[in-house]
A and B are shown apart, each in its own frame.
Chain A
Amino acid sequence: MKVYATYNIKGGVGKTSAAVNLAYLAAQGGARTLLWDLDPQGAATYLFRVRARVKGGGRALVRGSRGIDGAIKGTDFDGLDLMPADFTYRNLDLDLDATNRPTRQLDRLLAPLADEYDVVFLDCPPSVSLVSENVLHAADVVVVPLIPATLSVRTFDQLIEFVAGLPGRRPRVFAFWSMVDRRKRGHRELLDRLPRERAEVSEVSVPALAVVEQMANHRAPVAVYAPRSPAAQAYQRLWAELASGPDRP
């Protein structure tokens, strides 16, 4: 089982879009796939038309009184299941902090699923918190959507530093460009320069197009309703690159 986490310290950078589209493509490719929506806002859960509710909430999961297995829902797409969000995930940091190994709980919760799924995507809320530490410990690859802006790159540097400081095994960091507007010179410059300077940054860029925003209307991955769009093709390239890459740095 390979665990990917879509993560960025910043919000609104296309994490959920990436998680939903990449998970869909993984399942289409024949991998038994689970997407866990860890963001209490529940955007991925909404996109898959699933009710954002987990019996007992985040606390029951973290305390072990309920397993993740019973809360998983099948999506409308073959081979793709969803672990829904729950509004109580907003308190997940507190719940995690009350456990013996507060940074390793996600690892523990995912372990029983190893035989059942080939690929797991974790769609994470933006922040640096106990939840994100859990995610970074559980993930094999951290997929980071980057908006081509100086401040965004600075946040990425903070993330790299944070990952480097983690004890034990560390995930591979894989960044790609998100919400790209090639009409902007600043975007073009960064797209050209950064992949040459940083091994972690891919050349794949997902354009800022209305077709991506329309996911909320169609409540489906882009490839379902606009398979030939540049955005769908970008996600396909992204998945091909991720799936063929190494597991760990």
Chain B
Amino acid sequence: MADSARVPAPPAGGATVLPDAPAATLAATIAATIAADFTVEPDPARPFTRIWLDTFDRRLVRRGLTLTYTSIRRGHWLVLTDPDGTMTEAAAPDLGWPALLDALPDGPLRDRLAPLVGVRALLPLAEGRGRRWDLRVLDENDKTVVRLHAEGPVRLVGGGGELPAGVGLVPVRGYRVEAARVRGRLEHAGLLADPAGRAAAGYPPVAGADPVVGYRPDLPATAGVAGMLESFLGEVEHNVDGTVDDIDTEFLHDLRVAVRRSRSVVKLVGDVLPARLVARAATELRWLGDLTTPTRDLDVYLLDLPAATAELAAARPEDLDAFAGYLGRLRAAERRKLVRGLGSARLARFRRDYRAGLTAAREAALADGGSTTLLLGGLAADRVTRAYRRMVRLGDRITAGSPAEDLHTLRKRGKELRYLLELFAPLFDSVTLGDAVRELKALQDCLGRFQDGEVQQAAIQQFATDMVASGQAHAPTLLAMGELAAQRHRVQQEARAQFEQRYQRFVRPRVRRQFGRLTEVGAG
């Protein structure tokens, strides 16, 4: 490494300006700041383009993380920046966005992103251009112990303005102490900023995230329920484009969750809304739910397939390739129907009329000025109490010999209770609510494994029958699918064995008291 390339420490009282201000000025200032312990070796400044990435629901930025994709020279780099400005870098191939996590190179950065991003696609949220000076911080052996990126101002594409200059720090493995020392010096001098994270504040907002009305116990029940349904309609609409474009499977999942929640609201508390509005909503929401079910079911099979394949005992992983291909073709066909439905005049009409009806109901209830007899707090307490009692009545009748159908019904009632708790959450004491939801969730997970196991066994058998009928299955594939069905059977049996214990926990006196306290607060 040529000594002549080093950034010299500036003379006392003034900064040495390198011939590429302002990044050069920044580099010289950095060198001066850490000169007592380290030397700094800069590479020439280079232009770069940067894309800021996050999921549609901002899973990274909500945790204070920023992910960027920077193209500099002929290379591409993914950089994950922590809230404290520490960066994790990974060289990346030339990628197009949006992209799923599978497209990213293997390594620590992808491993960190995996539990956060899950199956969501990474979307480009902002793009900027600037110049960067890479600096290596060397110890007394001329070993690189820290890497720094000094960046000049970054111009955001599309009139997004300009981000100020800043310095980012990339630690080198095994040199934690040195990184901490450099960080301390730079922070003390006010130099360390997070050049990658700066754009996060400028991301487009997540639409549909804000509630239509502020939920209070003394809000007229009609206004509260209509406002909830308007929010869910917003969620549905917000996820239509991503579902149609097939960006990731979560768009459809979130759309379905909003539809399911809407259906539960209509069923459980819809009686406070105009009857005609509720009747049409019930029909159209059922249609929308049915429209989305086949594609979502196939998504679930395809998403679960890698884990199921890894558990194969006798069959080989490649034996399931034909099954995966079959599911993929089936999904493509179902998606065409889904896309047609989402773009249909029927849905457009329903959305328009439904929103107008909900808004009118909400505004009328608010204009009524509180003369409405039923308030949201009272409604919440009444319906949660009823839903819990209904669940307990059903559950108490279930014995070891009860048919699977009884457990399925209990799960449906449990889902309704869960939705009510979520809907009315702002009215409840958060600690009591958290405890109650935790108990309910444990039971619901058990019931979910039981039902999913049964449904999926039946579906795998149907897929196998159809594949044989259409000449798409060979013996090894069918045998491997048999193993998959057996896996599901085992899961179902395990869930059935756990049910009694989970249920008894759910109905023990402490939990009953929690639900009691919850509804007292809600009524408040």
Hey, which bits of chain A sit against chain B, CB under 8 A?
A: 30, 32, 48-51, 71-74, 76, 78-79, 81, 115-116, 118, 219
User: What CA separation (Å) do A32 and B144 show in the bound complex?
Assistant: 18
Contact B173 A76 (CB under 8 A): no
Task: Let me know if A81 and B141 touch, CB within 8 A.
Answer: no
Asked if B175 and A76 sit within 8 Å, CB to CB, the answer is no
A73 to B144, CA, bound (A): 11
Q: Is the CB of A72 within 8 A of B91?
A: no
Give A78 to B107 CA distance when docked, in angstroms.
13
Shortest Cβ gap from A220 to chain B (Å): 9
| A-B pairs with lowest CB-CB distance, top 5 | A73-B174, A74-B173, A49-B143, A74-B172, A76-B144
Q: A32-B107, A116-B108 are in contact. Are A49 and B142 (CB under 8 A)?
A: yes
* Alpha-carbon distance between A51 and B178 when the two chains are bound, in angstroms: 14
For the residues of A in contact with B, the DSSP-based class is loop
**Within 8 Å CB of B172, what residues of A?**
73-74
Cross-chain contact A72 with B136 (CB below 8 angstroms): no
Question: Distance in Å from the Cβ of A217 to the closest Cβ of chain B?
Answer: 12
B interface residues, tally (CB under 8 Å): 15
Contact of A49 among B111, B141, B173 (CB under 8 A): B141
Which single residue of chain A is at the shortest CB-CB distance from B174?
Answer: A73
Q: Which one, B91, B107, B174, contacts A74 given CB within 8 A?
A: B174
Residue pair A78, B144 in contact (C-beta under 8 Å)? no
The residue on B at minimum CB distance from A82 is B174
Contact A50-B91, Cβ < 8 Å, known A71-B174, A73-B174, A116-B108: no
B174 touches A76 (CB 8 A): no
CB of A49, distance to nearest CB on chain B (Å): 4
Contact between B91 and A81, CB atoms less than 8 A apart? no
Q: CA separation between A78 and B142, bound complex, in Å?
A: 16
Contact A79 B91 (CB under 8 A): yes
CB distance from A166 to the nearest CB of B (A): 30
Q: Which of B103-154 contact A (CB under 8 A)?
A: 105-108, 111, 136, 141-144
Q: How far is the CA of A74 from the CA of B172 in the complex (A)?
A: 5
Known contacts A30-B91, A79-B91, A116-B108: A72-B174 contact under CB 8 Å: yes
Contact with A along B143-181 (1 / 0, CB 8 A): 110000000000000000000000000001111000000
Return the chain B residue nearest A84 by Cβ: B174
For B142, list chain A residues within 8 Å (CB). Answer: 49, 219
> Which of chain B's residues has its CB closest to A81's CB?
B173
A-B contact pairs, 10 of them (CB 8 A): A30-B105, A32-B107, A49-B141, A71-B174, A72-B173, A73-B174, A74-B175, A76-B143, A81-B173, A115-B111
CA–CA, A49 to B175, complex, Å? 13
Using known A-B contacts A30-B91, A50-B143, A79-B91, determine if residue A73 contacts B107 with beta carbons closer than 8 Å: no
Say yes or no: A51 contacts B141, CB within 8 Å.
yes
Q: Of residues 170 to 201 in B, which have CB atoms within 8 Å of A's CB atoms?
A: 172-175
A50→B138 CA distance, assembly (Å): 12
C-alpha spacing A74/B178, complex, angstroms: 13
- Chain B contacts for A48, CB-based, 8 A: 143
With A32-B107, A73-B173 as known contacts, state yes or no: A78 contacts B91, CB within 8 Å. yes
Shortest CB–CB separation between residue A227 and chain B, in angstroms?
16
Q: Can you name 6 extra interface pairs (CB under 8 A) apart from A30-B105, A74-B174, A118-B106?
A: A30-B91, A50-B143, A72-B173, A74-B144, A74-B172, A81-B173
Complex CA gap A51/B177 in Å reads 14
User: A66–B108 Cα gap in the complex (Å)?
Assistant: 21
With A and B bound together, what is the CA distance between A76 and B136 in angstroms? 9
The distance in angstroms between the C-alpha atoms of A115 and B114, with both chains bound, is 14
**Residue of B with least CB distance to A224:** B1
In the complex, chain A residues whose CB is within 8 Å of the CB of B107: 32
Closest A residue to B91 by CB, please name it.
A78
Closest to B77 in A: A78
Q: Which residues in B have their C-beta under 8 angstroms from that of A116? A: 108
Separation of A49 and B138 alpha carbons in the complex (Å): 10
CA distance A71 to B173 in the complex (A): 9
Report chain A residues within 8 Å CB of B91.
30, 78-79
Point out the residues of chain B lying under 8 angstroms from A219, CB to CB: 142
Task: Point out the residues of chain A lying under 8 angstroms from B144, CB to CB.
Answer: 74, 76
